[in-house]
Chain A
Amino acid sequence: MSSDEDESMSEQEEQTKSGKEDNGSVLDYIMSLESVPSKLPPHLELLKTRVLCKIDAPQHTDTIQYSGAYAALGVDNSIRLDNFRQNFKVQVNRLTEDDIEFDMIGIDPALANAFRRILIAEVPTMAIERIYMANNTSVIQDEVLSHRLGLIPIGADPRLFEYPENAGNEKNEKNTIVFKLHVRCERQQPRITVKSNELKWLPNGSELPSEDIKPNSSSKPKTFTSFSCSQDSLPEFSGNPIAPRNLDIILAKLGPGQEIELEAHAVKGIGRTHAKWSPVATAWYRMLPEVVLLKEVEDELAEELKNKCPVGVFDIEDIGKGRKRATVARPRSCTLCRECIRGGKEWEDRVALRRVKDHFIFTVESTGALPPEVLFTEAVKILEEKCERVITELS
């Protein structure tokens, strides 16, 4: 211990010297004074880095962002980019086709939340926006069916498409995907359920004529799209045809003699405009739980504590002589049900539930247009673009 102190002292002395030489800021000067501690006292450190989850409400939920917050204590609260780079860690826990869970350590909630918000609202996808209803004799109303179609996730990479506004609202192969749905339930047949697998991709664009067909015009009738080439001739789609991501979404039910014929046009958009363009089912994070036993919890109490927790945070270890002691085995699985601290003040004094403020367990559930890990990088990219936009706007 003493040697450590000596080292730090010598460092400080060096800093003092260099600070004086550089004619540095007042802060640096204060920092260099011997009597001033360079670290926060433990109780403040606790409040700074942990949320205390009490029985009725969390305490100290805010993060201390201001760089000079602890200036009076001689502690610099600013995080330099280098520090951030050093401390920031990402640890992937689970990665499947549809979702990812990873730990993001050493980052402020402001940033983590920005990623979450962008994932939900601003990462673009393709979704059906216009329906051309040729025939619908089913019981489901046109607009309700259209709404249902709109919510189907389309398995197409939105990065390969443009926003329709860019092309002056002209529908071409670069901004529109066209699907066709034509189902009929024959008379004398049992009822059928129309599912999303009935949506058939039309790589050549719309097939419905946009105007009344003139009988003597030999040219191809004008349709609702103007594709210059077939989409499946494009290299991106030649291998994998575009289809709805889930093929078992129920769209409608048809009785005998009923028929649905329509064409659906999907375009690129963002979740803020309509939730159908949101690429995630949801994206969220939670702060890392920290469960601390403030006192030794032994024997029957230990057993009680273990049984109290519905998710099995606590475990029991033998400490010899037939005595048992409770330990915190799986703090990550804590759901903040606060069952362990319910039952009077004495339990609140035994167990402390906390959250680590700069450790996020981030989960992204993709709807399928893009893999979840790509979604996250896309979201970060969008935040970068936003910064860039602000910078260009300011200069």
Chain B
Amino acid sequence: MELGSYSDQSKSTFSLADEDHTIANAVRFTLNQDPRVTFCGYSIPHPSDNRVNIRVQTTGDSAREVLKDACQDLMQMCQHVRSTFDKSVNDYKMSKTVKDMDIK
């Protein structure tokens, strides 16, 4: 859900249902990394509401697009984390088996 104005698309609040700090804090991080963003922040209006509001203000671009890009960035980072992690785990397992073999 987006709460913003039609005339000025550069600032907007997005309300994500069933989400919490997990995504909001991560997205805030990627949003902050984007030079187009002048302000971003999030809040959880009430702890018994399963909802998080993300505020995005940009230098001019559409806040929605910027947020989408931020999510995209986050996703790509995750993908990279995953591949790197898998690789290291494999490396570790390989080295370990080699070590075990060495011992034997």
Query: A-side interface residues toward B, CB under 8 Å?
Result: 25, 27, 65-68, 76, 78-79, 81, 84-85, 88-92, 95, 100, 102, 104, 107-108, 110-111, 113-115, 117-118, 121-122, 373, 376-377, 380-381, 383-384, 386-388, 390-391, 393-395
Contacts and interface: CB of A to CB of B under 8 A. Distances in A.
Nearest to A69: B32
Given A110-B26, A391-B72, 18 more contacts: A27-B35, A67-B33, A68-B35, A76-B35, A79-B33, A81-B76, A84-B80, A88-B80, A88-B81, A90-B81, A95-B89, A95-B92, A100-B89, A114-B22, A383-B74, A387-B27, A390-B68, A393-B16
Interface string B65-101: 0011001111111111110111111011100100000
A376 B82 CA distance: 8
Q: Which of A79, A90, A387 has the most CB of B within 10 A?
A: A387
Interface in B25-83: 25-29, 32-35, 37, 64, 67-68, 71-82
A66 B78 contact: no
Q: Which of B72, B81, B86, B87 has the most CB of A within 10 A?
A: B81
A92 B88 contact: yes
Given A384-B79, A395-B68, A111 B32 contact: no
Interface of B is mostly: helix
Contacts of A79: 33
A377 B25 contact: no
B26 A111 contact: yes
B23 interface: yes
Contacts of B64: 394
Interface residues of B, number: 43
B19 interface: yes
A111 B25 CA distance: 8
B35 to A, nearest CB: 5
21 contacts: A65-B29, A65-B32, A65-B33, A76-B35, A84-B80, A90-B81, A92-B92, A107-B81, A110-B26, A114-B23, A114-B25, A117-B21, A373-B85, A377-B82, A380-B81, A383-B78, A384-B75, A384-B78, A387-B74, A387-B78, A390-B68
A76 B93 CA distance: 39
B91 to A, nearest CB: 7
Contacts of B87: 90
Contacts of B81: 88, 90, 104, 107, 111, 115, 380
Contacts of B22: 113-114, 117-118, 121-122, 383, 386
Q: Which of A27, A92, A113, A122 has the most CB of B within 10 A?
A: A92
The 5 A-B pairs with the shortest beta carbon distances in the complex, nearest first, are: A110-B29, A92-B92, A65-B32, A90-B88, A387-B75
Contacts of A66: 32
A90 B78 contact: no
A108 B74 CA distance: 11
A78 B89 contact: no
A274 to B, nearest CB: 16
A110 B28 contact: yes
Contacts of A78: 33-35
B88 A91 contact: yes
B32 to A, nearest CB: 4
A390 B71 contact: yes
A332 B34 CA distance: 33
Contacts of B77: 81, 84, 111
Given A27-B35, A66-B32, A67-B32, A110 B84 contact: no
Q: Which of B21, B23, B27, B91 has the most CB of A within 10 A?
A: B23
B76 A394 contact: no
Contacts of A118: 22
A273 B91 CA distance: 36
B35 A67 contact: yes
Contacts of A85: 80
Nearest to B79: A384
Contacts of B2: 394
Contacts of A111: 26, 29, 74, 77-78, 81
